[in-house]
Structure 1
Amino acid sequence: MTKPRRLAVGTFLIPALLVSAAACGGDETDASPGATTPSVSKDPASSAPSLAEPEKGGEAEAMAAYRAHWQEVEKAYAKNSIEGTDIKKTSVGPARLAIEKSVKSARENGQAVKGRPGLSNLTVTKADLNRDVPKVHLSSCLDVSEWVIYNKSTGEPVPQPSDRLTKYTVTSLLEKWPDGWVVTKDEPHQDTQC
């Protein structure tokens, strides 16, 4: 059995936004809390925390913010621009920079993405809610099999390696700033199928 390979297509890679964020980020970011305002998801999981279980409420809010973030990522790739999306509200620092660079690269290479990514098995792996800037670490399964890279001038899909890994684990870090939760880090584990 061969080990799955990373998706590699010229200079535009869907997972590149995650790889770039992982290379630049750790548990801390150098962005300041006042820099952005995160979006508020209408996901039922984002309801106010229960007084009986405040940690569960904070974790649920972070998960809802992460789902809302991925909706904005999907919009940015579909539009080939972050303009008209809430990327600047849902992400900061390395996480946002990686998305901006990847979308710009796609645009400059005459490529775009259609379809939608799948996000499943979203799980809190660590939560530290009793600090000045609360943090939640998440793990999820990202499925890019229905997220198709295509050539904008021809409309044809960009050929992909037949053995590319299309479902892999992603670990993420969110921080709660004064206006809500923001994604500060997304790290793909493209050798870990989920």
Structure 2
Amino acid sequence: MKAYSQGDVAGTDVAKYAAAQALSATKRDLSELRSQGIVTTGEPAHDTSVDELEPDKKVPYAKLTDCLDSTGWKFVYAKSQKPVDMPTNRLVRYVTEVEAEKWGNQWKIVTVTPQQRTC
């Protein structure tokens, strides 16, 4: 959330917790938002469940399902702090499928796939 609130991963721990597609998608999202002068305030809520856990693989693996509630997470223009107009049909609570791998002693999110369905 720190990266989104400042519009950049610099000075955050994003790379400690995300890798591969998840990290590149986050950087791409932040670049697009930054080009529009947009940052976030607040933060989303999560309700996460572990669907699959394979700790004995060469690279331990987990598949999770997260209900992301973005009600308290707002997009604003950085300079004015005015809210960004969002589509009225936008899902504010939606399912996200997540894959994680354990690299050394650290679990890292490697994919995040938002679903177009409410939770």
Give the alignment's TM-score, normalised by structure 2: 0.94
Superposition map of 1:1-194 within 5 A? 74-120=1-47, 122-190=48-116, 192-194=117-119
Aligned equivalents of 2:12 and 2:105: distance in 1? Answer: 18
The one of the two structures with greater contact order (alpha-carbon pairs below 8 A, sep at least 6) is 1
Aligned equivalents of 1:144 and 1:156: distance in 2? Answer: 17
How many matched pairs? 119
Q: RMSD of the alignment, in Å? A: 1.1
Distance 1:152 1:180, change over 3 A: closer
1:159 is paired with a residue of what secondary structure?
coil
State the Cα deviation string for residues 37-80 of structure 1 (Å, max 9, x = none). Answer: xxxxxxxxxxxxxxxxxxxxxxxxxxxxxxxxxxxxx1100111
Give the alignment's TM-score, normalised by structure 1: 0.59
Deviation of 1:179 after TM superposition, in Å, equals: 3.0
Deviation of 1:177 after TM superposition, in Å, equals: 1.3
1:165 partner letter: L
Structure showing the higher strand proportion among its residues? 2
Aligned equivalents of 1:153 and 1:182: distance in 2? Answer: 33
What 5-or-longer segments of structure 2 have no aligned partner?
none
1:82 partner letter: V
2:5 partner letter: A
> After the TM superposition, which parts of structure 1 deviate over 3 Å for at least 4 consecutive aligned residues?
none
Aligned equivalents of 1:132 and 1:169: distance in 2? Answer: 29
% identical aligned pairs: 29
State the Cα deviation string for residues 69-119 of structure 1 (Å, max 9, x = none). Answer: xxxxx1100111101111111111110001111111111111111111111
Deviation of 1:153 after TM superposition, in Å, equals: 2.7
Structure showing the higher helix proportion among its residues? 1
